[in-house]
Structure formats: C-alpha cells, structure tokens
Amino acid sequence: ALMTGEQYIESIRKMNMQVYMFGKKVDCPVDDPILRPSLNSVRMTYDLAQMPEYQDLMTAISPETGKVINRFTHIHRSTGDLVKKVKMQRLLGQKTAACFQRCVGMDAFNAVYSTTYETDKKYGTHYHDNFVKFMLYVQEHDLTVDGAMTDPKGDRSKAPHEQADPDIFLRVVERRPDGIVVRGAKAHQTGVLNSHEVIVMPTISMKPKDKDYAVSFAVPMDTPGIYMIIGRQSCDTRKTEGSEMDVGNAEFGGVEALTVFDDVFVPNDRIFQNGETEFSGMMVERFAGYHRQSYGGCKVGVGDVLIGAAAVAADYNGAAKASHVKDKLIEMTHLNETLYCCGIACSAEGHPTESGAYLIDLLLANVCKQNVTRFPYEIVRLAEDIAGGLMVTAPSEADFRDPKLGPVIEKYLKGVNGVSTENRLRILRLIENLALGTAAVGYRTESMHGAGSPQAQRIMTAR
Ligand code: SF4
Ligand code: FE
C-alpha cells in the first residue's frame, strides 16, 4: 500500500542508521535541523502521490500485481511511462526547489531489471528472479531506495584491480555458501540516509581481472557495517541559527553522503551481479542514461522556481517592465524549456529492452545531460543579474528583527511601494539559496557532475 508522508518519516525514524556529521554521530537524523529539509523533500514524493490531481503522474499500476504503486518504484513499460517520469520530476522540482532524491532508486530499478534479465539469459543465473522479488517487496511497502554507483575511483588511470588500495572500488572480499561480504565506499550518495534500502551497482565497465568488483546487490540501510559521513553544503549551518528567512528555502533541501561498506554481508537472494564483468558496463550505461534523462525533469522544475523568483525580484525592484529584464526572463525560459525538450525527446524515442522494460534513447539522454552541464549556470547568471547585489549583501534576519536596526533596514532596503521589505529580502534569499547556498549543490555542481561529468556524455555521444 502507498505510505503517507507522515508514515514515511516515521518508517525512516525507526531505522537504526549510522550517520556522522561534524565529527559526531547524529543520534536522530530525522530531527536534525541540517538534515531535516532533505527528508521533507523525499516526503513530497509520498504526499503528492496521495493527491487525486497528481495521481496520473505520481502513481502507476504494477503490471505484476495490478496494484497502485508509487511511480518511483515502477518499471517503465512504455514511452508514455518514460514521459510521465520526466513530468513527475519537473513537478517535484517545482514543489521543493531542491533535490527530492528518490529518482536514483527508480533509475537503479530500471537499469538492474533489464540487465539482470539479459545476464540470466546468457549465464543461467537467477539474478532477475532475485531482483523481481526485491522489487515486489519495495512496491508493496512503498519504500525509498538509494541507487549507489559512484566509487571513489582513486587513480583514474588505473583499473579497479590495479589500484594501490584494493578497496577504492567496492568489491567482494569473501564468498560464502549463504552470500557474499563486500567492502568499499560509494561517494556523493544523494538521499542515502533518507532511504530504506540501497541498490549497489558497479561504477565502470570491467575486464575479467576486475571480477571481484563486478558486483550488484541490495541491502537495508541499517545493515551492520554500513555508515554515512554527511557532505557539507555551502551555508549549511545557517539552518541551525533559527532564522527561516536567512536560509532561503526553510522547508526543503538535498543531502549527500560518503557511504562506507565495512565488510557488509549480502545474502544470496539479494545479489544481482557477482563477477559477470561483461554486464557491468550495461548496468552502468543504462543507469547513467536514465539518470541523464532524470535531469531533464528535476533541474527544469527547480529552474522554474528560479525563473519565477527572478521575475518576482524584478517586480519588487520596479524593473519588471524594462525590456532587457523581460528579455533575460525569456532567455532563462528558453534555456529551461530546451532542457525539458531533451528530457521529453529521449523518453518519447525510448524502446523496449529484452526484459520488456523501456529504455530511453541513450544518445538523446546524453545530449540532455550535456546541456544540463551548461544551461543552469547561465540561468543562474541571469537570475543574479536581475536580482542585483542585494542578494549577497542584505543584512541577517537578526538585524531585521532588531528594534533599532530593523526600521532602518525596512526604510533603506525597500523596493516598490506595496511590497514589504521583508518579502523583498525573502525572495532574494531564495535566489541566493539556489545560486550559491545549500541548493546550489543540486542546481549547479550536481548539474555538472551528477549522472556523470560532461566528458562521460561526450564519450557516449562519440560512440
Ligand atoms: Fe532526482 Fe534530480 Fe535529485 Fe537526481 S538530482 S535524485 S534526478 S531530484
Ligand atoms: Fe543526481
């Protein structure tokens, strides 16, 4: 059955996850002021699925069980499904102005589903059965799943087995009759601490000598041996100061963590790849392709918020009628909708894999992501142009609330009549948040390197 947002939060609260931040263990990540906004973003994937007006985008009928499931746990069965996925992501980007994290699991689901099918066909293994069993469990309980691909990679010129530290790529360190023991780490893990389960996949295509590194599996996030070290975000500690205004987006955010697998046991029925090196590349290519498609949805939704905020800032400055401001808003919209065109195009041009799961057009998905490495930067540049310098020089909320300083700020930082200085400062803080605060992690640098750095897309384009 579908979970409500509240049930989701309580289900994560019950898990015994090992989370570290600022040199300390976080006792209750769910209630931590720095981490909580990221949980709220995932929660939105549950809340919207409850609303009748969003059900077409947010849910799907499971072909296996005939039950209503959250689209984030669905295997795409048509180009229509692929298009709806992108539209759902744009909607969630608009609602949160942040990364809502649940897509990595959805993209891993679809990549692992089709890859295990083809692996079994060649080797007579049972990975696809294992995966389908896991998938049905996730659908039934409406779980959030992290998709963990990126290994730290050490010396980029060397293969996994050639690295000075053999753990720098995640690997199998022990094979037992009942399962395997793995060791390694996955970097930049988006939303990992807000996930019930994690699907681990290899990070590059492998040669036979890298057999121990060609491994894919799923385990619950509170499995013994797993721990997370939270990544700092620009301006993160503003969230601990108690000012809603100064954080720009007080309710929503994203989160990433270095996730360590310190000799973690994986039972046989949770293994989806174990030494079949020739299928590592397929899993990587498909996951990356789906996630490059994803950015043609989520980044566009966040872009919608930024364009809207810039337009509001222009209104508040009294500059909305200036022709150059109008033209900058048009340019931002043009760039944002171009990204959306790419997300929709690679979906509409999708095709079925042997398993029946639909894959996007990989060339178009890579073109989509390559544009995402550029356009959000230009959209941010134009937003800063329109916003003006006050987005980085405005005093704090504490000064604004001060009996002596407040009226002075009120007087001198006022824009057009009829708009409060407070509202003007709030919209500028939202732009700051997206341009260079906590949300810039997702909107800027993740647009560059998430789902693969620019050169990875150029390699695919060349192919
Ligand atoms: Fe989803 Fe976008 Fe966040 Fe990736 S960056 S998890 S696609 S919202
Ligand atoms: Fe991402």
Q: In CATH, which superfamily holds the domain spanning 282-462?
A: Butyryl-CoA Dehydrogenase, subunit A, domain 3 (1.20.140.10)
- The DSSP result for 128-197, as a single string, is HHHHHHHHHHHHHHT--EEEE-----SSTTS-GGGSSSTTSS-EEEEEETTEEEEEEEEEEEETGGG-SE
Of the bound ligands, which one is closest to the alpha carbon of residue 450?
A: 2
pTM assigned to the model:
0.98
Q: Among residues 40, 36, 30, 29, which one has the least CA distance to residue 96?
A: 40
Which residue CA neighbors atom 6 of ligand 1 most closely?
101
Q: What is the pLDDT of residue 197?
A: 98
- The sign of the torsion formed by the CA atoms of 216, 197, 88, 253 equals negative
Which residue CA neighbors atom 5 of ligand 1 most closely?
99
Which residue CA neighbors atom 7 of ligand 1 most closely?
294
Spatial contact of 41 and 253, defined as CB atoms under 8 Å apart: yes
284-322: b or e for each residue (b if 16 or more CB lie within 10 Å)?
bbbbbbbbbbbbbbbbbbbbbbbbbbbbbbbbbbebbee
Shortest-distance atom of ligand 1 to CA 450 = 5
Spatial contact of 406 and 420, defined as CB atoms under 8 Å apart: no
Q: Indicate the pairing of strand 19-21 with strand 226-230.
A: parallel
Which residue CA neighbors atom 8 of ligand 1 most closely?
99
Pocket test of ligand 1: the residue of 101, 438, 447 to mutate, having most ligand atoms within 8 Å of its CB, is 101
Domain ranges across the chain: 15-39+103-278, 282-462
Q: What is the pLDDT of residue 141?
A: 98
State the distance from the centre of ligand 2 to the C-alpha of 248, rounded, in angstroms.
21
The tokens describing 93, both together, are 């980007």
- Residues with catalytic annotation? 99, 103, 190, 256, 291, 295, 298, 446
End-to-end alpha-carbon separation of the chain, Å? Answer: 43
Q: Among residues 15, 316, 319, which one has the least CA distance to residue 144?
A: 15
Q: What is the pLDDT of residue 294?
A: 98
The angle formed by the CA atoms of residues 402, 407 and 408, to the nearest 5 degrees, is 100
Of the bound ligands, which one is closest to the alpha carbon of residue 443?
A: 1
Q: What is the pLDDT of residue 210?
A: 98
> Residues whose CB is under 5 A from ligand 2 (ion)?
450
Shortest-distance atom of ligand 1 to CA 93 = 8
Radius of gyration (Cα) for the chain, nearest Å?
A: 23
Pocket test of ligand 1: the residue of 71, 104, 188, 342 to mutate, having most ligand atoms within 8 Å of its CB, is 104
Shortest-distance atom of ligand 1 to CA 107 = 7
Q: What is the pLDDT along the chain (463 residues), one digit of tens a residue?
A: 899 999 999 999 999 999 999 999 999 999 999 999 999 999 999 999 999 999 999 999 999 999 999 999 999 999 999 999 999 999 999 999 999 999 999 999 999 999 999 999 999 999 999 999 999 999 999 999 999 999 999 999 999 999 999 999 999 999 999 999 999 999 999 999 999 999 999 999 999 999 999 999 999 999 999 999 999 999 999 999 999 999 999 999 999 999 999 999 999 999 999 999 999 999 999 999 999 999 999 999 999 999 999 999 999 999 999 999 999 999 999 999 999 999 999 999 999 999 999 999 999 999 999 999 999 999 999 999 999 999 999 999 999 999 999 999 999 999 999 999 999 999 999 999 999 999 999 999 999 999 999 999 999 999 9
Q: Residues 6 or more apart from 19 whose CB is under 8 A from it?
A: 25, 26, 29, 35, 193, 227, 228, 230, 257
79-96 vs 323-348: helix axis angle to the nearest 10?
150
State the distance from the centre of ligand 2 to the C-alpha of 420, rounded, in angstroms.
36
Which residue CA neighbors atom 1 of ligand 1 most closely?
103
CATH topology of domain 15-39+103-278: Butyryl-CoA Dehydrogenase, subunit A; domain 2 (2.40.110)
Pocket test of ligand 1: the residue of 294, 299, 339, 441 to mutate, having most ligand atoms within 8 Å of its CB, is 294
Element (DSSP H or E) covering residue 436: helix 421-436
Taking CA atoms, 69 is separated from 38, 56, 89, 136, 356, in Å, by 23, 11, 16, 10, 18
Spatial contact of 79 and 360, defined as CB atoms under 8 Å apart: no
State the distance from the centre of ligand 1 to the C-alpha of 295, rounded, in angstroms.
7
Beta bridge partners of 227: 260
Ligand 1 pocket, residues with Cβ under 6 angstroms: 99-101, 103-104, 190, 294-295, 298, 442, 446, 450
